[in-house]
A and B are shown apart, each in its own frame.
Chain A
Amino acid sequence: MSGGEFYRASSVQEALDLLAKYGAKAHVLAGGTDIMVKVNRRQLAPEVLVYIGECGLNYIKDLGDKVVIGGATPFAEILRSDVVKQKLPLLAEAVKHIGTPAIRNVGTIGGNLVTASPAADSSVPLLALGASVKLASKSGERVVPLEAFFKGPGETVRKPDELLVEVIIPVPDKDVKFAYHKIGRRKAGTLSVVAGAVIFKAEGGAPRGTAIARDQACYFEKCSQARVVLNAVAPTPLVAKKASALLEGSALDAELIAKVAKTAAEETSPIDDVRASAWYRRQASEGLVKSLLERIVA
């Protein structure tokens, strides 16, 4: 029987005051799609719940070269947002594959990141886009690149008195190339076996469908700002740095595609679990990265 306390923060300030007071005893509640599952499974009996669903952190702001999303913004609103559709199509695509409609109605972007599952769905597009998170506490704010935010399964650099108030996403150039795909046990409402995204800026290259493109000397003469991201194949969502570096400054051809995919798979450190074996995940990572790159050049 839980004798926990429940506080409804009516402002961010109030939430920060509560977190300063209760520290590690406090669990921040937004949509509850992770916390309430743990409560129902008797895995969590929170001493203090701080509800932030109605404290003013539900917004999507278009700041020109970046989009800022409030920490308690549900995925359904991100999916509906014209700003996200137009400026961050990679995020829009990935959000479609998060949970199911009722989960997206309440599950929030901040909650998904703070829960820090190695399979966190939103982490893949956000890492690919080079997003940062703003953490606020009573004593101030700091902005942490998402790449430096995750520490391990369920662990982040967030301190107990800090609240993830914003996700800051730089808007990529319009002509940036990207692809996203999630492999799960079923099509909807599932956790990743592995999901991945590839994004880069491409210069030069043969027009699609031409003889040159088909005979492929190379698809693009030069890739830059490349990122290869995978989840559910390491203790944290993974930016495959070596694979990304292979793309950087290089001409993209079939040989490089194979090499990038192989390298990305080598960077993973998956585990066996109920969804897939480590062996399968590594194979799937290679196939996934290959197919993402092939989709881009197709």
Chain B
Amino acid sequence: MYTLELKVNGRAYKVEVKATTTLLQVLREKLGITGPKVGCETGDCGACSVLVNGKLVKACITNALTVHGKEVLTVEGLGRPGAFHPLQLAFHEHYAAQCGFCTPGMLMAAKALLDENPKPTRDEVKEALSGNLCRCTGYVKIVDAIMAAAGEKA
């Protein structure tokens, strides 16, 4: 076992992991942070998307030990009741969630986009979400919500 030190949503943690433990296993099973979802476990669906040092990654195929000393942001760190992130509010206003399973990943992919490109085009939003699948196929409203959030930020 190896000791992994990381920050998640601003809080420091120290956990014991194996050589092949994934970041998603650490978040969900060791820390009880269940916003990132277990979907495909092959890096395809994006339900587990989180930010590591500001960069979008798929937690399911991120070896946990490669995140040693880094900062992770999950949907739990994006906002909370009473203080939602503009993206969360926009998703709410635009009905951008159906079953909700993909939503945490969608929000993190959207945040990664707007952090780098605050005024994206619709095509740039679609490209940014290309690694996040919504099996309710609610993409139009998700893109609408992100465009609206980007407008609000300006």
Contact = CB atoms under 8 A, between A and B. Distances in A.
B19 A103 contact: no
A106 B130 contact: no
Interface residues of A, number: 31
A44 to B, nearest CB: 9
B57 A189 contact: no
A189 B109 CA distance: 15
A70 to B, nearest CB: 17
Interface of A: 2-6, 8, 29, 32-33, 35-37, 39-41, 45-46, 49, 51, 53, 76, 99-103, 105-106, 187-189
A216 to B, nearest CB: 34
Contacts of A187: 130
B107 to A, nearest CB: 14
Given A6-B65, A37-B41, A101-B131, 12 more contacts: A2-B19, A5-B19, A6-B63, A36-B22, A49-B20, A51-B65, A51-B66, A101-B113, A102-B131, A103-B43, A106-B55, A188-B127
A102 B65 CA distance: 18
Contacts of A37: 41-43, 61
Contacts of A76: 55
A96 to B, nearest CB: 9
B33 interface: no
B121 to A, nearest CB: 15
Interface in B52-73: 55-58, 60-63, 65-66, 68
26 contacts: A3-B18, A29-B66, A32-B61, A36-B20, A36-B60, A36-B63, A40-B61, A41-B41, A49-B20, A51-B65, A51-B66, A53-B66, A99-B43, A101-B113, A102-B46, A102-B56, A102-B57, A102-B109, A102-B131, A103-B131, A105-B56, A106-B57, A106-B62, A188-B130, A188-B131, A189-B44
A53 B53 CA distance: 14
A40 B2 contact: no
Interface of B: 2, 18-20, 22, 41-44, 46, 49, 55-58, 60-63, 65-66, 68, 109, 112-113, 127-128, 130-131
B60 to A, nearest CB: 7
Contact of A101 (B41, B60, B65, B128): B128
B20 A4 contact: yes
A interface majority secondary structure: mixed
A106 B113 CA distance: 16
Nearest to B60: A40
B73 to A, nearest CB: 13
Contact of B20 (A2, A103, A188): A2
B61 A33 contact: yes
A105 B55 contact: yes
Contacts of A39: 20
Given A46-B19, A102-B131, A8 B58 contact: no
A101 B20 contact: no
A33 B58 CA distance: 9
Contacts of A100: 46, 130-131
Contacts of B60: 36, 40
A49 B44 CA distance: 23
Contact of B19 (A4, A53, A189): A4
